């Protein structure tokens, strides 16, 4: 998940820049229309219908030209240094950069092409070097340091003081105190990393755009009619016989859950887990080793022991050890639960004379689910029509936060015909617009994420509208049927919308206080998942796509009874990735043999052989397409600890829709961005620190000092 287009590009091209790094240009460039001004409703929307990929070089140049001009004007001003002519000016600047990053980010993530990737390879390193020099310009730091040293006598309010202190600390941590030669080295390292990040994401995307083909009907037995239609379409589009299984999670997972042909499951599984690890032109292992070395070089230059220490300076966890401590509190219980799950599956698999392998886990887990709870995942899907679940998202947001979403009909340009847009309002006041891009396609990276095209803040008095977007990779319905999604997909839908709700609810003054710590970012989204399974949402929106009948009470009862089923698998799959990430970056000697490190680390922590990491290192975009989640993948668990504790607050209030609790959550934790310390904000909401017991209970794991739970969460 990206917290904003701008932050994403800054992470992907570590922006440590200055205008003097700009290549010599023939003068100021206005650039393409999409960076000059956005027209239309909501104080301007991205002009997607007027964007050409070939315009991006000119757009990058124009954005850097404007940034250089604004920056130099601030630095050379003869007026006395003040908060307003330094911090406020910086906060309000960069309009072209913001517009460019919004449009570029969509093309990079949702509309990638060979032409765009070539431009990225040339321009992202230039952008990285440019912003690197801006950040490390000695004149800029002198202004910030002057204000920082005088901050107690400047008459600043609490928000201004926090912004100034964070700006100063970030500059120091980024190398502002280094000498000119050392700064040049940092910029060089980050410029080189920008190249590597782009290469990595392009190689993984190339593998994700491949297909596993089947022509024999026996290879696709067990798959539902709607899924068969969905994988038949790409085969037809490619003039091939049979079925085409795209190498992405949204296709792999339902295939492995339902396909009865074991050899076919193995084929699909291995294609998926070996993305980036096939020893061919798209192999990423050497690239990862280069990134790891560059990261440690930067950590050394900046005075940090490891990359993990560097990345965790502004997090809630603060240290690698504290993050690892939380993960290792949960890991043993998760592994123990996996052993129980495998034993249950093996009892059934014995009849088929096989030993459970990773490509069998999902398939036999569904058999166990059926045996234990008389619940078949295929029973659920017809009740989860995508359009209904989208309506459920918006209804829940209305009940909790008074937000209303009304679909636009043609008045707003979109970047693809599949994209829908919705006007957001509260109490009759329009707040902004929400884009929804739900379906997988060629050129779109896998997974699900949220972006913001325009942030909402009070500074300047004009930025009253927010523009957010959710992006998913669901399969379209085949043969004229509506798109149906799994319960897991519906959870993802609610999760990503939780990120959007965070930004929609912002009532911040300064955009610089909109970026929350990495281990807080996932918290609002994970909390939002909880409302999917409330009786109100399920009874109203979980309706059969053909009959419109509500989901039967007995089926809901089965879902509830099995709510903690397979939590061992889900936890180990995720947590192994987070632990390997931290161990990879919490060391001063960079790993050179990536595959060997992955194997040995998993063996060291006792990884069950029946499961593979959710994200193996060769395809781990969170870590290697940017710095964003590097030494930070633990943040999902950290955030889920707060999520489970927050949901307990609603339960204690007696209703998931309790108005007072929702208002308190919105006021203290959503609306404030990063205007206050996030742990202090949480304490104000809950009256204490998050309690790890609730996440253990949520996953059905034993809680120290309490009676063990069964899978329904009852004490035994």
- Of residues 421, 136, 173, the one with CA closest to residue 315: 173
Q: CB within 8 A of 310, min separation 6: which ones?
A: 173, 295, 298, 299, 302, 304, 631
Cβ atoms < 10 Å from Cβ of 71: 23
Please list the alpha-helical segments (H only) found in 303-357: 307-311, 320-349
Q: C-alpha distances in angstroms, 603 versus 139, 342, 609?
A: 51, 18, 9
Residues 6+ apart with CB under 8 A from 32: 50, 51, 52, 55, 58, 59, 62
Provide the whole-model pTM.
Answer: 0.88
Q: How far is CA 418 from CA 276, 294, 300, 342, 469, in A?
A: 29, 40, 47, 41, 13
Burial class (CB in 10 A: 0-12, 13-18, 19+), 133: buried
Q: Which residues of the chain have pLDDT under 70?
A: 1-29, 462-463, 705, 707-716
- CA gap 336, 488 in Å, rounded: 23
Write down all domains in the chain, each with its CATH number in brackets. 17-135+137-173 (1.10.1370.40), 209-273 (no CATH)
Compute the half-sphere exposure of residue 654: CA atoms within 13 Å on the CB side of its CA. Answer: 2
Question: Considering the chain, what percentage of its residues have pLDDT values greater than 70?
Answer: 94
Question: How big is the CA angle at 580 (ends 575 and 581), to the nearest 5 degrees?
Answer: 95
pLDDT value at position 525? 97
The DSSP 8-state label assigned to residue 484 in this structure reads B
Look at residue 501 in the predicted model and tell me its pLDDT. Answer: 98
Give pLDDT tens digits for 6-51.
Answer: 333 333 332 222 222 233 333 456 789 889 889 989 989 999 989 9
Angle, CA 464 vertex, CA 460 and CA 465 arms, to 5°: 135
551: DSSP letter = P
Q: Locate 570 and state its tokens.
A: 């889900």
Cα separation, 102 vs 45, in Å, equals 10
* Sequence-distant (≥ 6) Cβ neighbours of residue 73 within 8 angstroms: none
Q: Which two tokens stand for residue 14?
A: 């570590």
**Ramachandran quadrant class, 145 (left: phi over 0; alpha: psi -120 to 50; beta: rest):** alpha
Angle at CA of residue 337, ends 332 and 340, nearest 5°? 135
Dihedral sign of CA atoms 699, 704, 705, 709 in order? positive
- Closest CA relative to residue 44, chosen from 31, 53, 34, 55: 34
Q: What SS3 state is found at 375? A: coil
Cα-based torsion angle of the residue sequence 276, 3, 574, 334 in order, rounded to the nearest 10 degrees = 170
Listed in sequence order, the residues at least 6 apart from 72 whose beta carbon sits closer than 8 Å to its beta carbon are 19
Residue 2: per-residue pLDDT? 26
Phi-psi region of 44 (alpha: psi -120 to 50; beta: other; left: phi over 0): left
Query: In 10 A of CB 679, how many CB atoms?
Result: 16
State how far the alpha carbon of 669 is from the alpha carbons of 187, 406, 518, in Å.
Answer: 35, 26, 15
| Nearest Cα to Cα of residue 99 among 454, 461, 455, 451 | 454
């Amino acid at each position: 998940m990206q917290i904003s287009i701008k932050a994403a590009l800054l992470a992907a091209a570590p922006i440590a820049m200055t205008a003097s790094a700009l290549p010599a240009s023939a003068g100021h460039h206005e650039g393409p229309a999409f960076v000059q001004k956005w027209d239309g409703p909501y104080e301007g929307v991205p002009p997607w219908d007027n964007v050409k990929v070939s315009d991006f070089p000119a757009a990058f140049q124009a954005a850097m030209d404007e940034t250089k001009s604004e920056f130099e004007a601030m630095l050379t001003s003869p007026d006395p240094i003040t908060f307003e002519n330094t911090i406020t000016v910086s906060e309000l600047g960069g309009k072209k950069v913001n517009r460019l990053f919004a449009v570029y980010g969509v093309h990079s993530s949702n509309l990638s092409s060979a032409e765009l990737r070539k431009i990225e390879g040339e321009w992202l390193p230039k952008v990285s070097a440019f912003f690197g020099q801006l950040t490390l310009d000695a004149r800029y730091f002198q202004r910030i340091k002057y204000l920082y040293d005088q901050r107690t006598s400047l008459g600043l309010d609490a928000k201004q003081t926090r912004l100034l202190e964070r700006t100063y600390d970030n500059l120091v941590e980024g190398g502002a105190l280094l000498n000119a030669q050392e700064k040049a080295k940092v910029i060089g390292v980050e410029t080189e990393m920008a190249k590597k990040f782009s290469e990595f994401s392009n190689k993984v995307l190339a593998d994700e755009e491949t297909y596993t083909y089947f022509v024999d009907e026996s290879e696709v037995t067990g798959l539902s009619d709607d899924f068969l239609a969905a994988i038949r379409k790409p085969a037809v589009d490619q003039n091939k016989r049979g079925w085409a299984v795209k190498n992405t999670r949204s296709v792999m997972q339902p295939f492995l859950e339902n396909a009865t042909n074991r050899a076919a499951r193995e084929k699909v599984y291995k294609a998926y887990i070996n993305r980036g690890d096939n020893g061919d032109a798209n192999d990423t292992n050497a690239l990862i080793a280069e990134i790891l070395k560059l990261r440690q070089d930067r950590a050394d230059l900046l005075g940090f022991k490891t990359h993990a220490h560097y990345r965790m300076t502004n997090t809630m966890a603060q240290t690698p050890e504290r993050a690892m401590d939380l993960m290792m509190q949960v890991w043993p219980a998760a592994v123990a639960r996996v052993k129980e799950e495998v034993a249950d599956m093996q009892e059934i698999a014995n009849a088929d004379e096989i030993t459970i392998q990773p490509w069998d886990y999902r398939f036999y887990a569904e058999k166990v689910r059926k045996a234990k709870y008389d619940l078949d995942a295929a029973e659920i899907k017809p009740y989860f029509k995508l359009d209904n679940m989208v309506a459920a998202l918006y209804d829940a947001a209305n009940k909790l936060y008074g937000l209303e979403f009304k679909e636009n009909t043609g008045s707003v340009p979109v970047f693809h015909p599949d994209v829908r847009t919705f006007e957001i309002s509260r109490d009759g006041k329009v707040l902004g617009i929400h884009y929804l891009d739900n379906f997988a396609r060629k050129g779109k990276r896998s997974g699900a994420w949220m972006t913001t095209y325009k942030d909402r803040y009070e500074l300047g008095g004009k930025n009253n509208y927010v523009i957010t977007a959710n992006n998913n990779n669901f399969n379209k319905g085949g043969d004229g049927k509506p798109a149906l999604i799994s319960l897991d997909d519906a959870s993802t839908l609610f999760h990503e919308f939780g990120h959007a709700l965070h930004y929609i609810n912002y009532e911040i003054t300064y955009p610089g206080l909109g970026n929350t710590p990495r281990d807080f970012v996932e918290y609002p989204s994970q909390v939002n998942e909880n409302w999917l399974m409330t009786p109100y949402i399920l009874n109203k929106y979980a309706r059969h796509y053909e009959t419109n009948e509500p989901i039967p009470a007995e089926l809901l009862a089965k879902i509830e009874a099995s709510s903690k089923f397979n939590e061992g698998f889900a936890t180990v799959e995720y947590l192994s990735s987070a632990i390997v990430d931290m161990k990879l970056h919490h060391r001063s000697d960079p790993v050179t043999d990536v595959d060997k490190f992955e194997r040995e680390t998993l063996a060291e922590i006792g990884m069950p052989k029946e499961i593979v990491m959710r994200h193996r290192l060769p395809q781990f975009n969170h870590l290697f397409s940017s710095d964003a989640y590097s030494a930070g993948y633990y943040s999902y668990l950290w955030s889920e600890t707060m999520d489970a504790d927050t949901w307990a607050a609603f339960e204690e209030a007696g209703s998931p829709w309790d108005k007072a609790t929702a208002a308190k959550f919105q006021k203290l934790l959503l609306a404030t961005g990063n205007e206050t310390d996030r742990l202090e904000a949480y304490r104000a909401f809950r009256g204490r620190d998050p309690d790890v017991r609730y996440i253990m209970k949520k996953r059905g794991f034993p809680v120290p000092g309490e009676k063990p739970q069964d899978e329904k969460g009852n004490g035994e």
